[in-house]
Structure 1
């Protein structure tokens, strides 16, 4: 009769369990289970995946704080949304068809540009579309009416100055910021005034940390913060209930602000510099693009 030293019992158990696992692991009937469980086909990858699964299942649960209250909940917060560019569609019937399809697909939000250059076209305070002999607001009124018809919430993206707002600043491109941030703040105020009670959510600009959304120049979070704060103050004066959303920042790795041809500034660096410049008090909701996630 073989005598086992007590100190060898754990080793013997490990060997027995290991041999049993190896036999199970190599069984032909186990192959499909391993593929479906791990998503891997090679034995080595399956073994690593099983080890990681074991670690995950035996790891202590994370100690998480309670979910923060959603301050701006309005019954559809968290519902899916989609970008739209309805201002580029000439016919109202086609805009309506798009919004009908969007609603039928289960979306409850649209993020729709309200380009400054298309509304205050030829001069400060002039909201006539002299290019086409119509009121510049008419198209956007139609978009708002149709969105309400199909129970869609609008995030109005305010951006893109008209030529007159670039006085002496044209070399920076059509998407660059205006020469006077107060001109943009006045446009924001006019938009909030017109759609008070119809649009609650406004996003100030789009992707100012990458080219060419801040024009033919380096990204400048300090200047964006100034413009954002000017817009925020005017919007809240008109309607304190509006929700101001900071521009969606685009993921990028450049740490120096880029140049004039495709450069940008890392979104986290841009955001930190925004906060350093005092922008934290000038928006209600932060936003980020999900590219690459």
Structure 2
């Protein structure tokens, strides 16, 4: 009886690889095609509460149909605005070269659903940060000498999306160190970033609303390495001349474990703590500026120490 000689180890792996490749081709052909996305006819938002806004997170959403579905749900909810994050590194991977494709998709579907966009701008591309061999930095580390470069991005963004956006937020929670590149926070430096960004945005579109602040509620003392409480941080912004360089104030109002009607208290983080920031604005003669709540809420995640029960979360939010 004839027997087949055993395959060498090399040819055995070639045989296995060929079979796996064949299986991959078969499965690829059987897989459904990605959904075809067509914008459809332009829509409008019907709402009884035009001030309602949804904070979306479509920055890293690859599939266009999901972007569209999110916008449809926002419209069906009755919210005429969204807050969305648009990271600088995503469009300017190389200095002076922009790729707007993903941002264009988000804006196109927002506009088609009748939704206006409040755009939060931030993060820093690697080429704008110190080389790794000189200093290890995070994506939130913006060297002071690159403030004008960031402002140029702000201007280019506003110029491109003038018709789709209602406002831009300059940076996020600059009063905590992890959002300021893991270095000591610097309200005077943030005020300078706000100034150059404000000028660039208004040069691109005179009617754009530039929002400053977006400060994190925190109890950190002034010289803490982790950050600075937002009340003192805002005072120092005004002392540095920030009043002339933002049109509206962006506020983060997290309730933690406290009901929404609890009185504001400088020793407690609760929903009405924003009123303490408003007092600072009034003290510096800035009471005419509106305040936009761009982040807010309560968490019912049981893994978090400051969580509430699901029923409480619903009641507090309503």
Same fold per superposition (TM over 0.5): yes
Deviation of 1:215 after TM superposition, in Å, equals 1.2
Deviation of 1:198 after TM superposition, in Å, equals 2.3
Instruction: Indicate yes or no: 2:97 matched with 1:126.
Output: yes
Instruction: Indicate yes or no: 2:197 matched with 1:242.
Output: no
Counterpart pick for 1:181 among 139, 147, 168: 147
Residues paired across the two proteins, number:
207
Instruction: Indicate yes or no: 2:69 matched with 1:103.
Output: no
Counting only pairs closer than 5 Å after superposition, residues 10-159 of structure 1 correspond to structure 2 as: 79-121=51-93, 123-127=94-98, 136-159=99-122
Q: Is the helix fraction higher in 1 or 2?
A: 1
Deviation of 1:274 after TM superposition, in Å, equals 0.6
2:277 alignment counterpart: none
Give ranges in structure 1 of 5+ residues lacking alignment: 1-74, 128-135
1:230 alignment counterpart: 196
Deviation of 1:78 after TM superposition, in Å, equals 5.2
Give ranges in structure 2 of 5+ residues lacking alignment: 1-46, 256-270, 272-318
Measure, in 1, the Cα distance between the counterparts of 2:49 and 2:192.
29
Cα 1:117–1:110 change in 2 (3 A) is: same
Give the TM-score normalised by the residue count of structure 2.
0.62
Measure, in 2, the Cα distance between the counterparts of 1:213 and 1:275.
20
Deviation of 1:291 after TM superposition, in Å, equals 1.0
Measure, in 2, the Cα distance between the counterparts of 1:258 and 1:286.
24
The DSSP-based 3-state class of the residue aligned with 1:126 is coil
Instruction: Indicate yes or no: 2:144 matched with 1:196.
Output: no
Deviation of 1:180 after TM superposition, in Å, equals 1.5
The DSSP-based 3-state class of the residue aligned with 1:87 is coil
Counterpart pick for 2:181 among 215, 227, 232: 215
Measure, in 2, the Cα distance between the counterparts of 1:208 and 1:167.
20
Deviation of 1:196 after TM superposition, in Å, equals 2.1
Q: Any idea what the Cα deviations from partners look like across 1:33-83, whole Å, max 9, x if unmatched?
A: xxxxxxxxxxxxxxxxxxxxxxxxxxxxxxxxxxxxxxxxxx999521111
